[in-house]
Amino acid sequence: MAEKQAVKRSTRRSAKSAGDEGFSAEEKAAMRERVKEMKSASSGKGDGESDVLAKIAEMEGQDRVMAERFHAIVKASAPELTPRTWYGMPAYSKGGKVLCFFRDARKFKERYATFGFQETANLDDGPMWPTSYALTELTPEVEARIAALVKKAAS
């Protein structure tokens, strides 16, 4: 018995020394937000649009500006999508499943914001296609590309 415990402790130490320290504080916070979202949805509380706008308002600087514009682009390009939060991020769903999302750079301490799709998006194009994009600014060309991708994904 003592030998098994020693092996377990040794294994845990080796995993930690190899850099596997489990979930980051940001990942844990996102999971807690997801649990709150699921509870809110099951109780019928909360308004997806208001929740998304509140999350965008919490963002800082350029990410907030991009998220506001991204929200407007998605609503104009695919009005059938339902705004909601997903792991604390603005997201847009179809048939109850998240189709696309916006993640600000600060969310996971990344150097750029991300615009991504889930597997429900109708974007299949051969044996390989992108499912997320780094965003550093929203130019008219980028906005047009986002609008086209969202339309295709929602079709």
- Domain 25-154 maps to which CATH number in 3.30.420, 3.90.1420, 3.90.1150, 1.10.3470? 3.90.1150
**pLDDT (0 to 100) of residue 31:** 77
Domain boundary assignment for the chain? 25-154
In this predicted model, what pLDDT tens digit does every residue of 87-98 receive, in sequence order? 889 999 999 899
pLDDT tens per residue, range 37-88: 676 666 666 678 899 999 999 999 999 999 999 999 999 999 999 999 998 8
What are the strands, taking DSSP E only, across the chain? 82-86, 89-94, 97-103, 113-117, 132-135
Taking the model in full, what pTM does it have? 0.75
- Measured at the alpha carbon of residue 59, what is the angle toward residues 113 and 24, in degrees to the nearest 5? 65
Written as one letter, the residue type at 78 is: A
